[in-house]
Amino acid sequence: MKKYWGLLKPRLDTLSRLTALAIIFLSLVIVSPSFASAANIINVLRITSLTLMMAIGVALCMLVGGIDLSIGATIALTSILFGKFFQVGQSTASMIMGITGMLAVSILIGLVNGFCIVFLHLPPFLATFGVQQIVRGLAYLLTSGLVYSNFTEDFRFIGGGQLFGIPMPIIIAVILLLIISFTLNKTTFGYRVYAVGSNRESARYSGIPVNKTLITTYVLSSLIAGIAGIVYTSRLNAAEPTIGAEFAQTAIAAAAIGGISFRGGNGNVLGVVIGALILTLVSNGMTLLGVDSNWQVGISGVVIILSVLVDRNASVRKT
Amino acid sequence: MNSQSLRSRRETLAHYYHKVPATVFLLFGMILFFSLLSDKYFTVSNIMNVIVQCSSGVGIVALASYLAICSTGVDLSLGGIVSLSGMITAKILTWDIPLFSQIRNNNPVFLLLIAVTAAIAAGAAIGSMNGLILARTKIPSFIVTLGMYKICETFSRVIAGGTTIRINGLPLFEFIGNGSLLNVQIGRRSIGLLPISMIIMLLLYIFFSFVMKKTRFGTYVYAIGGNNESAALSGINTVLTRYRVFLYGGMIAAFTGIIFTSRLTSASAQNGLGLEFDGIAAAVVGGAAMSGGRSTPGRTLIGALIISVMKNGFNMIGMSNSIQMIAIGCVLIAVVSVDTLRNRRRFV
Amino acid sequence: MKRFLGYLLVAALLVAGVVSVNAAEYEVTLILKDNTSAGWRYLASAAIAAGEKIGVKVTENSPLETQNADEQYNAMLDAIEKQVDAICIAPVDSAGIVPAIEKALEAGIPVFTTNTRAFVKNPEDIVTFVGVGNEKGGYDIAQYMFGKLSDLEKINLIIIDGNRTGQTTLDRIAGIEAAIAEDDRVVLLDSQEGKFSRANAQEIMESFLVKYSEIDLVIALNDEMAIGAYNAISAAGREGEMLISGFDGAPEGLQAVLDGQISATLNQDLPGQGSGVIEAVKAYLDGESVESWIKVGGDVCTPENAAEFLAKLKK
């Protein structure tokens, strides 16, 4: 018995989160007849996949003890750049150039974040908040408020198409998830992320290149935001500077519900998946049940607070 | 005059120079800069305009943000509290139930008192909910106050009942946000030299300067921000202190809600949402460190003024709002990096 | 001193450009509901273009992101300090802007409204209102759409709201509700806030499609949301089942009508509102008399006439 407990104990958090998810899922199945349809489940998964992509990026930053508030703005800026500069030719070549450009810009934003945090010693919250302001300001400046739309069929396939009956965003999110999960669990970089997050000083003393790890993490987070931006722009078939105003908050909420600690070094990718699913299920469920828009905001707030309250990591302070 | 007293005086001057926060120079630099670009900038009426914009917007919220940041937290629910408390004020002032209509007809001043008290009580209630959770658990303040923000927004929307609440025929209430104790006539316009909202803001700042400097609560907040563990070891009730930080923050933000509603003579659930980030920016530009324990209410006020001066200045010289946004981001990063680099040099 | 200079440099670096010298006859501040969404851009660029033609310098000063009543208030105060010759505003909060309008009048600056009215105490406080009636527009488009579905015995209706804290949404909804009350076939299944955004509307519609097996009509409170709803419906392969209507008559919306994606939109003639209000300002400041309501737009754009409206916009 004791042996099994030893196996079970470290997984208790994930288990309790899975239970919460299952309870929400089952109650929705019972209460709403249209919920359990295949169409709706696909729908939920597709919405989750976007939240999930962004949440994984933010979760990486949180694992090293930081945060990334700039992802929404990154998505807006890259999407605008694509609409403005790369959609002119309407050819496949210009689309590939556009996508490369989007990814390059998102990497650049990640580098700026990393630079501010590592070399200017800014707290991550402030650095990414400031960068967020600048990036979104640039997005507004570039568009002068126009909406760019009607992209090519090829580009629209990325976010709107299906492969073997599965929507593309889900496939992309799953691939991304597998890559990040592998990176975190099986590579040196993954080990370094946890080490830096748990204790930066001792990581430094044990010879881990802390600065390099930090910068790589922020670049990864922005890059993932860039990928999410491509999917989002394609699905929307439009580029607007206003998109993503609440993405950072939603992503952070998903990661926090999924048990990624704000102090770093604690949490896993599976948790983030559960967190993103819980958030989407709640909002999807409320729409299906016909909950008034006015109440929806608050209920999601209650869900966020409750789910972090029941977390074991949220242990009671003695001091 | 002998050389010794001269030297000591010079030292005193140098001493004062170093005591003046660097942000003061930034503030004056900006004012100078905008004055050079627009001849209508440096006028009595525009200066009062900036002060009113500050005191009825980011100014008071920045104080609440500063308190939270000083105790190593962050309060994202402030915007929601502004919306909710403003909505409650409006609802009570216009509520059509016999009790309130009767009071409104017989004694409007009393109704006003009820409304203001209720608004502050609502701020206190939300603040204390934040505080209850954050003081006792290790959940990060970011996530709890984010949830609370959403809850506030919902209540505000539900009270509004899908519309905006308009307030008519209560000149005394409108006076809070629009009035002034002393006016001068310049041309056709009367310019308020002592706007009520400015007085409320200054009183709050003076009060909290006193609290932070002279009371045990203030010392405790700085101690928690400096080092929570050692603060607890030295016998400070950290749980209670942290609770009070968020409680006071909620009450302070409620003042902005009241001023907002009075200024617009109407309340919409949208009002004030987003102000929490302006507040954080102001507190941080003023010198607060996310690691806690630094800055003072006075410095925070300067930070808030810088934000307001920038917004007004860019409007005056006709710059687009996108450039404003970029500029605020740049100033934030620049000020904080200069600040951190200077501090590192001092300690390392 | 170094510190001081450093900060000065930071401040100086912030602004690269300097405002050009103003040679125009009149200076006007234009305050719209936001600085970002497409509809307001059409209004603003038409206003600025019209101003250049007739010698009015138009500076736009709208809130950046959300529809922010307080920032509009501050923008009014700043315009008063700039001592502009006139202020044109599309108020976010029709009641909330009134104190600021009174301050402008006190400073002797005439105020013009466009798109959305302000609830001033004396109607003569506002020189003129340029725009359609949102309530009438909502009524007209709803009635037109109900008429299109004349062969149905029951109309299952979905409304995609804008933003229920704003006046425009409330007015349009009031008009639609009036039309619903007149037609007893209509059953309002559901409505949700789309915040005037294509993305939000798309997500909301996706859920509605799952929830309701029978939908006959989707009324969206602007064109962006109508297109978002269409995207969701076409992704679900249910294009033939229901009709969609928009509101605004923006180029994208008109194009969608022509392409058969949405059935109709209400032409607000946003560029007409922009140029109209600036022309009214010029006329008023030149001492001419101006009507208290300059009506522009208000027509329902259908596949038959959308091409004309689009051609007019492109011009």
Give the residue from A287, A296, A212, A305 showing the smallest Cα distance to A40.
A287
Residues 6+ apart with CB under 8 A from C125: C101, C102, C105, C111
Backbone angles phi, psi at A312, to 5 degrees: -70, -25
What average pLDDT does range B220-236 have in this prediction?
87
Hey, are the CB atoms on C36 and A43 less than 8 Å from each other?
A: no
Contact yes or no for C65 and A242 at CB 8 A: yes
Mutate to test the interface with C, among B18, B19, B20, B25 (most CBs of C within 10 A): B25
Contact across the interface for B268 and C165, Cβ inside 8 Å: yes
Contact at CB, A316 and B137, closer than 8 angstroms: yes
Residue C46 corresponds to which tokens in the numbers above?
Answer: 């038409």
Inter-residue contact C46 to C275 (CB < 8 Å): yes
* C35 to A240: CB separation less than 8 angstroms, yes or no: no
C134-267: what CATH class?
Answer: alpha beta
**Of the candidates A132, A141, A262, which has its C-beta nearest B140's C-beta?**
A262
Element (H, E) at A239: strand A238-239
CATH node for A39-309: 1.10.3470
Q: How confident is the model at residue A7 (pLDDT cuts 50, 70, 90)?
A: low
Q: Kindly identify which residue of chain A lies nearest to residue B152, measuring between CA atoms.
A: A298
Quick check: B325 and A305 CB within 8 A? no
Confidence of residue B347 (pLDDT cuts 50, 70, 90): very low
* Two tokens, residue B197: 């909202």
Interface with chain B: mutation pick from A262, A291, A297, A312, highest number of B CBs within 10 Å: A297
pLDDT at B348: 38
- The rounded Cα B48 to chain-centroid distance in angstroms is 17
Yes or no: domain B52-180+189-314+321-336 corresponds to CATH 2.30.30: no
**CA C90 – CA C112 distance, rounded (Å):** 9
B136, B137, B342: which to substitute to probe chain A, counting the most A Cβ within 10 Å? B137
Q: Report whether pLDDT(A148) > 80.
A: no
Regions of chain C short of the pLDDT cut 70:
1-24, 65-67, 165, 315
Q: How far is CA C297 from the centre of its chain?
A: 12
- Distances from the Cα of A76 to the Cα of A97, A221, B299, B334, C28, angstroms: 18, 15, 34, 24, 31
Facing residue for B136 by CB, picked from A133, A311, A317: A317
Question: What is the rounded CA–CA span in Å between residue B30 and residue B302?
Answer: 12
Contact assessment for residue B220 and residue B227, using Cβ atoms and an 8 Å cutoff: no
Which CA distances in Å does A8 have to A1, A2, C21?
10, 10, 74
Exposure string of C51-87, with b = 16+ CB inside 10 Å and e = fewer, is: beebebbbbbbbbbbbbbbbbbbbbbbbbbbbebbbb
> Subunits touching B (CB < 8 Å, at least 3 pairs)?
A, C
User: Which of A20-24, B208-212, B240-244, B252-256 has the lowest average pLDDT?
Assistant: A20-24
CB contact under 8 A, C224 and A243: no
Helices (H), chain C: 2-14, 38-54, 69-81, 98-106, 134-148, 167-182, 198-211, 223-235, 251-258, 270-285, 306-314
Superfamily of domain C24-132+270-297: Response regulator (3.40.50.2300)
Do residues B59 and B308 make contact, with C-beta atoms less than 8 angstroms apart? yes
Q: Which chains are within 8 Å of C by 3+ CB pairs?
A: A, B
Report how far apart, in Å, the C-alpha atoms of C47 and of each of C19, C65, C85, C277, C279 are: 19, 20, 15, 7, 9
CB spacing of C81 vs B43 below 8 angstroms:
yes
Q: Which of A121, A127, A314 sits opposite B137 (nearest CB)?
A: A314
Q: Where are the beta strands (DSSP E) in B160-247?
A: 165-166, 183-186, 189-192
- Looking at chain A, the whole-number percentage of residues with pLDDT higher than 70 is 91
Per residue in A301-314, pLDDT tens? 998 888 888 765 55
pLDDT tier at B102, thresholds 50, 70, 90: confident
State pLDDT tens for residues A81-91: 888 877 655 67
Residue type, A23: I
Q: Is the pLDDT of residue A97 over 50?
A: yes
Element (H, E) at A140: helix A124-143
Kindly give, in sequence order, each residue whose CB lies less than 8 Å from that of residue C96, ignoring residues fewer than 6 positions away.
B164, B264, B265, B266, B268, B271, C69, C73
ipTM of the complex: 0.87
Task: Pick the closest to residue C293 from C280, C304, C306 (CA basis).
Answer: C280
Give the containing element (helix H, strand E) for C114. Answer: strand C111-114
Q: Which amino acid is at A60?
A: L
pLDDT for A219 equals 95
Residues 117-176 of C with CB under 8 A from B: 119, 163-167, 170
| Beta-bridge mates of residue C301 | C265
DSSP 8-state class, residue A82: I
Cα(B246)–Cα(C216) distance, rounded to whole angstroms?
50
Which helix (DSSP H) or strand (DSSP E) does residue C300 occupy?
Answer: strand C299-301
The domain segmentation of chain C, as residue ranges, is 24-132+270-297, 134-267
Q: pTM score, two decimals?
A: 0.87
Q: Encoding tokens for residue A233?
A: 């722009």
Of B160, B153, B130, the C-alpha closest to B79 is B153
Quick one: which H or E segment has residue C293? strand C293-294
In single-letter form, the type of residue at position C216 comes to D
Chain A, residues 258-317, CB within 8 A of chain B, namely 262, 294-305, 308-309, 311, 313-317
**Does residue C10 belong to the interface with chain B, where contact is any CB pair within 8 Å?**
yes
Window 158-187 of B: residues touching A by CB (8 A cutoff) are: 158, 162
Query: For a pLDDT cut of 70, what percent of chain B falls above it?
Result: 93
**Distance (Å) from the alpha carbon of A20 to chain B's nearest alpha carbon:** 18
Name the minimum distance, in Å, from the CA of C190 to any CA of chain A. 7
Q: For residue B269, what is the nearest residue in chain A, using CA coordinates?
A: A294
Q: Across the interface, do B151 and A302 touch by the CB < 8 Å criterion? A: yes
Q: Do B33 and C11 touch (CB under 8 A)?
A: yes
Phi-psi region of A265 (alpha: psi -120 to 50; beta: other; left: phi over 0): left
Q: What is the mean pLDDT of chain B?
A: 87
Cα–Cα distance, C168 to C135 (Å, whole number): 8
Polymer length in residues for chain B:
348
A175-224 pLDDT, tens per residue?
999 999 999 999 999 989 898 888 888 888 888 898 899 999 999 999 99
Report yes or no: C162 and C196 within 8 Å, Cβ to Cβ: yes
Judge whether C315 is closer than 8 Å to chain B, CB to CB: no
- Decide if B75 touches A, using CB distance below 8 A: no
pLDDT in tens, B152-175: 999 998 998 877 888 887 888 888
B26 closest CB neighbour out of C7, C15, C35: C7
User: How many Å from the N-terminal Cα to the C-terminal Cα in chain B?
Assistant: 41
**Identity of the amino acid at B90:** A
pLDDT of residue B90: 93
Q: What average pLDDT does this structure show over B53-79?
A: 93
From residue C225, alpha-carbon distances to A250, B223, C197, C201, C221 in Å are 22, 52, 6, 5, 7
Query: Taking phi first (over 0 means left), then psi (-120 to 50 degrees means alpha), and beta for anything else, what does residue A273 get?
Result: alpha
> Tokens at residue A13, please?
């958090």
Residues of B in contact with C78 (CB under 8 A): 49, 312, 315-316
Of B231, B325, B333, the CB nearest to A137: B325
A128 contacts in B (CB within 8 Å)?
Answer: none
pLDDT at residue B78 tops 80: yes
Token digits for C276? Answer: 């109209």
CA distance A144 to chain C (A): 7
Ramachandran bin of C162, using left for φ above 0, alpha for ψ from -120 to 50, beta for the remaining angles: alpha
Chain A environment of C64 (Cβ under 8 Å): 140
- The tokens describing C271, both together, are 């560029």
Grouping H, G, I as helix, E, B as strand and the rest as coil, residue C158 is: strand
Strand partners, A309: none
- Residue B316 pLDDT grade (very low, low, confident, very high; cuts 50, 70, 90): confident
Can you say whether residue C129 is alpha, beta or left, with left for phi > 0 and alpha for psi between -120 and 50 degrees?
beta
The dihedral built from the CA positions of residue A35, A41, A47 and A53, taken in this order, carries a sign that is: positive
